[in-house]
């Protein structure tokens, strides 16, 4: 390999452990998160992160500047500099082209993608409380509560089958999420519910009956049909429930089918869970996407 080291040959995770005690835990978490973003970007673009070529670093900075605030991009540049120093590698950040790239970032009028409003626990409780006292209300309560606790994409939530849930001795449930956007080969991930959500699911299943394959099915004329819901049904449920709860129209407009996933991730961050734990819980592969979800929550935590 000579001087051209590859990222899989360098355990950068262990190098960052050397920072313990020298920096605040929040700073170390920030470094770790930013390096994960850089490594993921390099993987997607066929670049080597360690040591990074200054040309690749410039491309990364400009790409990030189109999505994030200059302060975020600058923080990631600091993290990349620190990573190279910890590994004893040449510092690519001192190249003049990198300085010029950062000037471009600061002059950009970045347009960030519209972010779904997080349906955090406070919002979730309000939406559950307004569900009707009928079979549709039973299904909706279970869907909302389970979607939040699984940090589920709407496609994952409506794809759940009755066989994917198992009651545990402590009256919680084990849930198998078989396939998702980030898991095209169906290796699956395991998640667990609270006892409260398990009770809501049991109430729904008691009415629905045991012989229907989709966990959450369509209802017609007070009868359960052996047909799965569409992905748009999750978004429609959230928006209708937010309207019924009396939220302002501008707030209702910000909710989407991703709001359960976003809100649960934000709540986990506010409770002190780190980025790696939240990624595992929600099945995220990209740090960058998760960071966009958590930006508002991070502001609330550190301010």
| Helix, strand, coil percent content, the chain, rounded in steps of 5 | 60, 10, 30
**What residues does each domain of the chain span?**
7-112, 121-266
With 90 as the cut, is the pLDDT of residue 201 above it? yes
The CATH classification of domain 121-266, taken from the options 3.60.20.10, 3.40.50.1370, 1.10.443.10, 2.40.128.110: 1.10.443.10
pLDDT in the model for residue 174: 96
What Cα–Cα distance (Å) separates residue 218 from each residue in 127, 135, 142, 261, 275? 20, 11, 14, 22, 36
pLDDT, one tens digit per residue, over 242-286 is: 999 999 888 899 999 889 999 999 999 888 888 888 888 888 776
What Cα–Cα distance (Å) separates residue 184 from each residue in 36, 199, 258? 22, 31, 19
Q: How many CB atoms are located within 10 Å of the residue 140 CB?
A: 24
pLDDT, one tens digit per residue, over 104-160 is: 988 875 455 567 788 999 999 999 999 999 999 999 999 999 999 999 988 899 999
Spatial CB neighbours of 178, under 8 Å, sequence gap ≥ 6: 159, 161, 164, 186, 188
Q: Fold identical between 7-112 and 121-266?
A: no
Instruction: State the Cα–Cα distance between residues 229 and 250, nearest whole angstrom.
Output: 27
- The CATH number given to 7-112 is 1.10.150.130
Spatial CB neighbours of 156, under 8 Å, sequence gap ≥ 6: 150, 177, 179, 180
What Cα–Cα distance (Å) separates residue 256 from each residue in 127, 193, 233? 13, 22, 11
């Amino acid at each position: 390999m000579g001087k051209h080291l590859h990222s899989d040959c360098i355990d950068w995770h262990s190098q960052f452990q050397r920072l313990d005690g020298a920096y605040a835990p929040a700073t170390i978490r920030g470094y770790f998160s930013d390096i994960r973003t850089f490594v993921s970007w390099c993987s997607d673009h066929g670049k080597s992160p360690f040591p990074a070529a200054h040309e690749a670093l410039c491309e990364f900075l400009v790409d990030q500047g189109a999505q994030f605030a200059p302060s975020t991009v600058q923080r990631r540049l600091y993290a990349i500099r620190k990573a190279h120093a910890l590994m004893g590698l040449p510092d690519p950040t001192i190249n003049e082209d990198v300085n010029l790239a950062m000037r471009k970032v600061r002059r950009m009028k970045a347009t960030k993608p519209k972010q779904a409003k997080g349906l955090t626990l406070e919002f979730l409780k309000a939406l559950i409380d307004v569900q009707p006292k009928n079979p549709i209300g039973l299904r909706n309560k279970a869907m909302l509560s389970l979607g939040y606790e699984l940090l589920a994409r709407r496609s994952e939530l409506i794809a759940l089958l009755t066989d994917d849930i198992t009651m545990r001795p402590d009256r919680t449930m084990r849930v198998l999420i078989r396939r998702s956007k980030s898991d095209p080969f169906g290796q699956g991930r395991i998640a667990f519910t609270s006892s409260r959500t398990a009770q809501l699911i049991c109430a729904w299943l008691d009415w629905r009956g045991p012989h229907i394959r989709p966990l959450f099915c369509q209802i017609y004329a007070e009868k359960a049909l052996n047909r799965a819901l569409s992905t748009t049904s999750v978004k429609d449920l959230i928006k209708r429930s937010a309207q019924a709860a009396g939220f302002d129209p501008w707030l209702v407009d910000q909710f989407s089918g991703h709001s359960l996933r976003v809100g649960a991730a934000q709540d986990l961050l506010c409770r002190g869970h780190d980025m790696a734990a939240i990624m595992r819980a929600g099945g995220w592969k990209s740090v960058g996407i998760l960071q966009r979800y958590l930006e508002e929550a991070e502001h609330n935590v550190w301010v």
